[in-house]
Amino acid sequence: TGVLPVFVDEVAATPAPRVSTAATLEADRVSAWFGQRKVLDRVSLDIPAGRVTALIGPSGCGKSTFLRILNRMHELVPSAQLAGEVRLDGQDIYDPERRLTDARKAIGMVFQKPNPFPAMSIADNVLAGLKITGTKIARPDREALIEESLTRAGLWNEVKDRLKQPGSALSGGQQQRLCIARSLAVRPRVLLMDEPCSALDPTSTRVVEETIGEIAADVTIVIVTHNMQQAQRVSDQCAFFLAAQGTPGVIVEHGPTDVVFENPQDQRTSDYVNGRF
């Protein structure tokens, strides 16, 4: 057989490394109150770029509140008060000089209950986030963005022949992937997911987990989950939140997911991940 004249150095030099748009998030001593009631106490967490971070812990310990603080969504609750800092690639997202829409564009959110606009077409649902965040896109580029976003969300093949149907025509699992596509169309640098699979059947859950694995290189993921197997399947690092009776939520332990699950340093972490409360 013939040997091709390949120059090893050239082969090694290509292809050029792809530039990831994933960003780091740092929560620095974040405390939160609803009115007089303190619900988070000096929570600090470094969220590395291009990785999946899972937030776990019992109901009511402040996971959703913390997640919302990471993209200023808690500001929709008038009684919410905040102390501490959140930095996106080192820049304070609460800096008064920065616009709210900059944070929202860079940091997308997916909720537990799929919430596509039911009467809007599948295609328009994908583009809806652009309108909400004031992101402009030239008309000729729209179709490509719709295909790209739906493909990244693992939904393209199922909907490519019916893009004009309403969002409500889809199953629950498809609706959730449509919501993921809607977030991805804005090309966020971080995607926050609050129990995104809690309302889904096991098959849809698997597809969403695969999607998370595929997009994580380009989009930093923070996912709240009550499913310990899911946390182990999808996450690189894990933070365990807890609010002891009557006290605000804190992070008891955080670290690489295999350490948190297999060799937890705190007895309460061990009890929680092993289903003892």
Task: Choose from Mg ion, ligand ADP, none: what does 211 bind? Cβ within 5-8 Å by kind.
Answer: none
Under rule CB under 5 A, residue 225 binds Mg ion: no
Which of ligand ADP, Mg ion, none interacts with 118 (beta carbon under 5 to 8 A by kind)?
A: none
Cα angle 130, 133, 137; round to 5: 35
Compute the distance between CA of residue 61 and CA of residue 242 in angstroms, rounded to an integer: 5
CB nearer to ligand ADP: pick between 74 and 177 = 74
**Least CB distance to ligand ADP at residue 67 (A):** 8
Q: Which of the listed partners (ligand ADP, Mg ion, none) does 149 bind, with a CB threshold of 5 to 8 Å by partner kind?
A: none
Report the distance separating Cα 60 and Cα 39, nearest Å. Answer: 9
> Minimum distance from CB of 121 to ligand ADP (Å)?
32
Spell out where the chain has E strands: 25-34, 37-47, 52-56, 80-88, 91-92, 107-110, 190-194, 220-224, 237-242, 250-256
* Residue number with the smallest Cβ distance to Mg ion: 64
Q: Work out whether the CA dihedral 91, 238, 189, 197 comes out positive or negative.
A: negative
The two three-digit tokens of residue 168, written as one number: 């409500």
**Least Å from the CB of residue 17 to ligand ADP:** 37
Q: Distances from the Cα of 66 to the Cαs of 56, 80, 264, in angstroms?
A: 12, 12, 22
Minimum distance, C-beta of residue 231 to Mg ion, in the bound complex (Å): 14
Cα distances from 211 to residues 160, 180, 229, 232, in angstroms, run: 18, 9, 16, 15
**Contacts with Mg ion in 49-68 (CB under 5 A)?**
64
Q: Which of Mg ion, ligand ADP, none interacts with 62 (beta carbon under 5 to 8 A by kind)?
A: ligand ADP
CA–CA distance, 17 with 179 (Å, rounded to integer): 30
Least Å from the CB of residue 64 to Mg ion: 3
Neighbours of 210 (CB within 10 A): 13
CB of 226 to Mg ion, least distance (A): 9
By a kind-dependent CB cut-off of 5 to 8 A, residue 34 interacts, out of Mg ion, ligand ADP, none, with ligand ADP
# of chain residues touching ligand ADP (CB under 6 A): 10
CA distance 113 to 200: 9
Q: State the binding partner of 65 from Mg ion, ligand ADP, none, CB within 5 to 8 A by kind.
A: ligand ADP
- Compose the 44-83 pattern: x for residues touching ligand ADP by CB under 6 A, - for all others: ---------------xxxxxxx-----------x------
Kind of pairing between the strands at 91-92 and 237-242: unpaired
List of residues contacting Mg ion (CB under 5 A): 64
Which positions touch ligand ADP (CB under 6 A)?
34, 39, 59-65, 77
